[in-house]
């Protein structure tokens, strides 16, 4: 995977002027400490994981714990809500989910819950075992279906990799999960934010990163780099990513990728599969097993897309040639740096030209040859079409060379013009293809399969005469309509 790794490891591109800012962000990132309860997985992240039967026993312990409470659970109250009854968290406290969860776990009911689960499972006691069992209970109470039917990218029946998220801002997923928990009555509206945070902290802390730009779309290149970076950082310091800002994750990505190459390779492979699914290159498999051949195809396509993105700005920066500059460069090479190429000292030699155009008589004198005085730069752009004379001593000394001069300016200009035009066309094509690839799935399908119409706002003002009308463009933007009529 060396080619693939090299194409994704350097996820931050900076200029010299950005160096100080990048260093400042790195220093800030180093000060970010993981949550006190790490990734809030508790006993579910132990090196020797709980078995399926033990997880079922955790839920049984939760049932017995709730049955022993004085409070009668309401239909929209789960374990999380019941833990918040004795000393309810204030609205301000709920705005900091990590600290709020730490408060609940450290509270009377949180400790009682952890002890109850530990006792029911006959677990060994340690300084952190009660907290770990309490967290495991909360996780499984929110997502009981994961015990026997665990699927990557799925939490509490919510598909993180849903087609509805493709091309949408990554930052929007948290609220969608929160709404799902409320709709499915997993949490009430007050505690749904904590529930979403708890689940994502364990399964997908990418969606908890702070200050996520709306331009980071699910399935796009920025999402890919961010996903790999978050996974590698989280593997080294569980619970840290959820407390980091977007810029901090990105600037730390390269150094994090070097800590454990195996972890980085796994993160890249998993994200590559998700990328392939989003872009229709592979079918989604619930078991997550893909053959080496399928992965090779994905790596090839990814690297091709990466190369296109890197080449696009180069292609779009192509500049059309200037005939005069081509001639100037040729003349400097032929006559030297300080030769008077822009002085009007050359005149068409009619004595030579008359023999040529005489056969075309009667030809108007105005079009028999160039009129007036011309520069050597003018002459060079005519590609040796005419013969010249001069009284300028320096130029007269080289008049024979000038009359034999053919720098092929027109041919060079036409070749470079065509090359530049093709570069701009290709750059535009790649840009449009990239923009389409980042759209939501429905919009992509409309463009691919639907009828596309183009519109431009114009004002047509008719006069009294038949041919008297004036057309004025009201808006230079080109509007498209495709498929079901989305603009």
List, for residues 169-196, the tens digit of each pLDDT value. Answer: 999 999 999 999 999 999 999 999 999 9
The closest alpha carbon to 238, from 249, 246, 230, belongs to: 230
Chain centroid to CA 355 = 67
In contact, 62 and 140? CB cutoff 8 Å:
yes
Percent of the chain with pLDDT over 90: 62
CB atoms within 10 A of CB 278: 25
pLDDT of residue 11: 41
145 and 291 assigned to the same domain: yes
pLDDT at 236 exceeding the cut of 80: yes
384 and 464 assigned to the same domain: no
Q: Which domain holds residue 352?
A: 318-442
pLDDT of residue 16: 46
The closest alpha carbon to 156, from 134, 193, 184, 189, belongs to: 184
275 and 406 assigned to the same domain: no
295 and 159 assigned to the same domain: yes
Residue finishing a domain among 264, 286, 310: 310
- Mean pLDDT in residue range 14-34: 77
Residue finishing a domain among 248, 278, 310: 310
Peptide bond into 362 cis (omega under 30): yes
Helix, coil or strand: residue 453: strand
195 and 214 assigned to the same domain: yes
370 and 487 assigned to the same domain: no
Chain centroid to CA 443 = 18
341 and 357 assigned to the same domain: yes
Question: Poorest-confidence range of 71-80, 168-177, 265-274?
Answer: 71-80
In contact, 275 and 32? CB cutoff 8 Å:
no
pLDDT of residue 486: 47
- Alpha-carbon Rg for the chain, nearest whole angstrom, is 35
Confidence of residue 363 (pLDDT cuts 50, 70, 90): low
> Domain tally for the chain?
3
457 and 374 assigned to the same domain: no
212 and 294 assigned to the same domain: yes
373-374 and 158-159 as β-strands: parallel, antiparallel, unpaired? unpaired
pLDDT of residue 455: 75
CB atoms within 10 A of CB 267: 23
In contact, 62 and 49? CB cutoff 8 Å:
no
* Distance from C-alpha of 155 to C-alpha of 138, rounded to nearest angstrom: 13
Beta strands in 360-415 (DSSP E): 373-374, 388-389
In contact, 209 and 177? CB cutoff 8 Å:
no
The helix or strand, by DSSP H or E, that contains position 480, with its residue range, turns out to be strand 479-482
The pTM of the full predicted model, rounded to 2 decimals, is: 0.75
Characterize 22-43 residue by residue with b for buried, 16 or more Cβ atoms within 10 angstroms of its Cβ, and e for exposed: eeebeeebeebebbebbbbbbb
């Amino acid at each position: 995977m060396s080619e693939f790794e090299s194409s994704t490891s350097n996820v931050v591109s900076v200029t010299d002027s950005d160096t100080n800012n990048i260093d400042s962000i790195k220093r800030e990132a180093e000060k970010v400490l993981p949550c006190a309860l790490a990734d809030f997985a508790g006993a579910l992240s132990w090196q020797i994981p709980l078995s399926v039967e033990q997880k079922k026993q955790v839920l049984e312990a939760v049932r017995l714990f709730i049955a022993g409470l004085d409070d009668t659970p309401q239909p929209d109250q789960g374990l999380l809500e019941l833990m918040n009854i004795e000393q309810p968290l204030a609205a301000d406290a709920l705005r900091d989910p990590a600290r709020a969860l730490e408060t609940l776990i450290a509270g009377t009911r949180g400790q009682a819950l952890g002890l109850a689960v530990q006792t029911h499972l006959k677990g060994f006691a340690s300084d952190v075992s009660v907290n770990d069992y309490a967290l495991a209970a909360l996780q499984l109470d929110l997502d009981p279906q994961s015990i026997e039917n665990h699927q990557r990218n799925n939490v509490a029946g919510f598909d993180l990799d849903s087609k509805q998220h493709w091309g949408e801002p990554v930052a929007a997923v948290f609220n969608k999960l929160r709404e799902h928990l409320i709709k499915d009555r997993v949490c009430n509206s007050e505690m749904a934010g904590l529930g979403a945070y708890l689940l994502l902290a364990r399964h997908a802390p990418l969606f908890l990163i702070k200050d996520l730009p709306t331009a980071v779309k699910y399935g796009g290149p920025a999402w890919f780099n961010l996903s790999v970076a978050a996974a590698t950082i989280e593997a080294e310091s569980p619970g840290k990513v959820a407390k980091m800002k977007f810029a901090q994750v990105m600037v730390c990505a390269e150094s994090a990728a070097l800590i454990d190459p195996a972890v980085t390779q796994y993160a890249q492979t998993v994200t590559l599969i998700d990328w392939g699914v989003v872009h229709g290159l592979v079918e989604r498999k619930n078991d997550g097993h893909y053959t080496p051949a399928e992965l090779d195809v994905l790596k090839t396509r990814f690297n091709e897309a990466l190369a296109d993105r890197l080449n696009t700005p180069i292609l779009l920066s192509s500049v059309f040639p200037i005939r005069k500059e081509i001639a100037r460069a040729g003349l400097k090479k032929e006559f030297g740096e300080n030769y008077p190429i822009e002085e009007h000292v050359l005149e068409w030699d009619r004595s030579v030209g008359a023999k040529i155009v005489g056969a075309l008589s009667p030809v108007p004198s105005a079009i028999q040859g160039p009129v007036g005085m011309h520069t050597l730069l003018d002459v060079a752009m005519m590609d040796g079409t005419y013969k010249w004379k001069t009284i300028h001593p320096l130029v007269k000394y080289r008049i024979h060379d000038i009359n034999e001069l053919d720098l092929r300016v027109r041919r060079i200009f036409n070749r470079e013009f065509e090359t530049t035009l093709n570069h701009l066309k290709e750059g535009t094509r790649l840009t449009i293809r990239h923009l389409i690839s980042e759209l939501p799935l429905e919009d992509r399908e409309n463009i691919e399969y639907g009828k596309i119409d183009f519109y431009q706002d114009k004002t047509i003002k008719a006069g009294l005469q038949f041919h008297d009308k004036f057309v004025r463009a009201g808006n230079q933007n080109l509007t498209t309509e495709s498929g079901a009529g989305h603009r």
